Amino acid sequence: MEWKASHILVKDRSLANDLRRRIQQGAAFESLAREFSTCPSKSKGGDLGWFGEGQMVQPFEYACRNLSVGSLSDVVSTQFGYHVIKLTGKR
C-alpha cells in the first residue's frame, strides 16, 4: 500500500488544533501549510508525495492508513512535532 499526503507540521499542539479547525471551516490547506509549517514541504503546500509502508514514522503512517482520500486527520504527535495530515491519494 502507498499513500500520498500533505501535512502541516508545527511545534505547538494548540496551533495545530487551531489550523485544523480553520481548514474545517474552509481555509485553504496549502496556504496554511506555506505560512505555518516548519517542514521543507511547506514550499509545496505541504505535499509529501507518495510513500510506502515503513517510510514515515509510525504515528504518521498509522494516521494515513485510517484516513479516506480527501479527509483530514486529527492532530498527530510525533518526535518532529504536531501534524495535521490531509490524505490526497491511496494505491
- Cα 71 from chain centroid (whole Å): 10
Q: Which domain holds residue 33?
A: 2-90
pLDDT the model gives residue 12: 97
Query: With contact defined as beta carbons under 8 Å apart, do 34 and 45 qualify?
Result: yes
Q: Which of 33, 36, 35, 31 is nearest to 11 (CA)?
A: 36
Tell the residue number behind the cell numbers 492508513, with chain if given.
65
Tens place of pLDDT per residue across the chain (91 aa): 999 999 999 999 999 999 999 999 999 999 999 999 999 999 999 999 999 999 999 999 999 999 999 999 999 999 999 999 999 999 9
Q: Which domain CATH number covers 24?
A: 3.10.50.40
pLDDT recorded at residue 21: 98
Domain total in the chain: 1
What's the pLDDT at 3? 98
Provide the pLDDT for residue 59.
Answer: 98
| φ and ψ of 17, to 5 deg | -60, -40
pLDDT of residue 70: 97
